[in-house]
Chains A and B, each alone.
Chain A
Amino acid sequence: MESVGNRKPGTPALHVEDLRVSYRKIAALKSITFEVHKSEIVSLLGANGAGKTTMLNAISGAIPVESGEIRHDGASIKGVPPHRIVQKGIVHVPEGRRIFADLSVAENLRVAAYLYESKRKTLFKERLEFVLSLFPRLKERYAQAGGTLSGGEQQMLAIGRALITGGDILLLDEPSMGLAPMLVQEIFDTIVKISQTGKTILLVEQNATMAMEISNYCYVLETGLISFEGEPEVLRQDNDIASAYLG
């Protein structure tokens, strides 16, 4: 197997190898290989329909994998169902946020502590305090139904929920989608803050310019294949790629 991106030694936190995923015989991911190391922000860029969401769904176990391998700290996690992936510390913040609209903000956050709530009450309190300090607006909306939040607030809630599960690898699917430019900046700033606490982040974005600014490493996905990988500076200088895929 060819080695990819020798940017850090050691076992990657997340390692996808020659992955193939199909929807009814039509391949959405053809042969994907990439890695994410601990504490990195790695972005997966690409146009609409490139296969970014499919990639994250495959990692989190939401859809089955046809062939290839997905490893977490060296151990295969292929075929592990989503509710067990969370126990391994990998948490998926899905496209469109998918917060629980009928649950209050408080309940949305509490349900994220489902796995440990009864055994470790103080841990929940600590994480909750951290999330509310990161997103003070959630505190103001605490008793409101999730469905009444604005798009930006829902994104905060979705990220907050992920942090409360305690996962140390975050899979973020287009967190800036549909947000006003000011809010986009705020969300990206928060991602950096979260990364500084030691979390590993795999960021899927169509907003390549912004994503590249905060990433350690980038992959460009084009109709199910990785067409480029490298550090953001290199990607930015490559005019061909920039104009072809990043708009």
Chain B
Amino acid sequence: MGTYSQQFLQQTVNLVQLGSIYGLLAVGFSMVYGIARLVNFAYGPIFMVSTYLLFFFGTLMSAMTETAWIVLVFALIGASALTALLAIIIEKIAYKPLRGAPKVSVVVSSVGVGMALEYLVLSFIGPNPHRMPTFVGNSRYTVGGVNFSLATIIIVAVAVAAMVVLNLYIKKSRTGIALRAVAEDGLAASFMGISANWMISVAFILSAIMATIGASLYGVAYPTFNPYFGEQINWWSFTAAVLGGIGSVKGAILGGYLLAAVNVYSPMLLPTSSWRDVVAFGVLIFVLMIKPAGLIGKKRIEKV
């Protein structure tokens, strides 16, 4: 099998797949920060819960139909709706009362919410790993000695489509412009008739939808999951978002692919794959030393 360059190409395919998932997840993470100025460390555990919801809806739908894409679509709709609901409840209970309090207290609160979610899933479902139903068949194609699976193509296509649609929504729609206005100046936006509270909820809803789509794609690539893997997702989403410039959608996407590149290429160059996270962290620190606001983040003056 393959020359070094073929191996490199193969890894690049993996990079694009992984980067698309990371990018999507980082967008969901970054979005909430952009609007609510809130680092939501419950994001990973919310992602984990949405994975379980996808599993339940997927299993339920699989019993009713054999058509994989119908199963996927309905599982996505059901899981997105419940995940969004969960995210809004968390915001109202754990974050909203802390508005105006020091930022650290919100971070602590989000970590606590994350632990609570993990604990809830552990106690109701247990620690054993589960396996996601098959949403995508396992056809494979070979082009120039490089393997593509149907799964890879679908993961990349869906993730890119989701990011493009979200970006268009934020750029062009009435709600999208209102979101950006609130992100810049909540009080001035309220003078235009926009409820900052509602826009923060919208940010949490969009974040939850991105997390759920991300969870479904992640489940296609890596079908086994357990209640603990939200922590990993937190770390990736946070790193990718901060790398690109937290609060920026484009930055998050860029950060996602960059993080994937580190993850995919560093095992080719380094002795053991356990170095990956160290390299990722090194890249993060390096980027932040040169550009403290991230690759394409803007330095903002904090408003009182």
Contacts and interface: CB of A to CB of B under 8 A. Distances in A.
A86 B180 contact: no
A194 interface: no
Interface string A104-136: 000100111011011000000000000000000
A44 interface: no
B262 interface: no
Interface residues of B, number: 18
Which of A62, A100, A103: most chain B CB closer than 10 A? A100
Which of B181, B192, B298: most chain A CB closer than 10 A? B192
Contacts of B195: 81, 83
A86 B187 contact: no
A114 B174 contact: yes
B181 A100 contact: yes
A99 B185 CA distance: 8
Interface residues of A, number: 28
Given A98-B185, A118-B174, A60 B191 contact: yes
Contact of A86 (B178, B193, B298): B193
B268 interface: no
B184 A112 contact: no
Contact of B191 (A91, A107, A117): A91
Contacts of A101: 184
A166 B185 CA distance: 21
A83 B177 CA distance: 16
Contacts of A114: 174, 177-178, 192-194
Interface string A70-98: 00000000000111001100011110001
A111 B194 contact: yes
A109 to B, nearest CB: 10
B188 A86 contact: no
Interface string A205-221: 00000000000000000
B184 A102 contact: yes
Contact of B192 (A102, A112, A118): A112
A161 interface: yes
Contact of A161 (B177, B178, B180, B192): B192
Given A98-B185, A117-B174, A82 B191 contact: yes
A110 B175 CA distance: 11
Interface string B170-201: 00001001101100110111111111100000
B194 A100 contact: no
A165 interface: yes
Contacts of B180: 100, 102-103, 107
A91 B181 CA distance: 17
A99 B188 CA distance: 7
Contacts of B298: 102
B258 to A, nearest CB: 24
Which of A86, A92, A111, A117: most chain B CB closer than 10 A? A111
Nearest to A147: B184
A83 B194 CA distance: 5
A99 B298 CA distance: 17
Given A82-B191, A83-B194, A165-B192, A103 B184 contact: yes
Contacts of B192: 83, 86, 111-112, 114, 161, 165
A102 to B, nearest CB: 6
A100 B185 contact: yes
Nearest to B196: A83
Contacts of B187: 62, 82, 94, 98
Interface string B128-159: 00000000000000000000000000000000
B31 to A, nearest CB: 16
Nearest to A158: B188
A98 B21 CA distance: 37
5 contacts: A92-B191, A102-B298, A110-B177, A117-B174, A162-B191
Interface of A: 60, 62, 81-83, 86-87, 91-94, 98-103, 107, 110-112, 114-115, 117-118, 161-162, 165
Q: Which 6 residue pairs across A and B have the least CB separation, nearest first? A: A82-B190, A86-B193, A98-B188, A115-B193, A83-B190, A83-B195
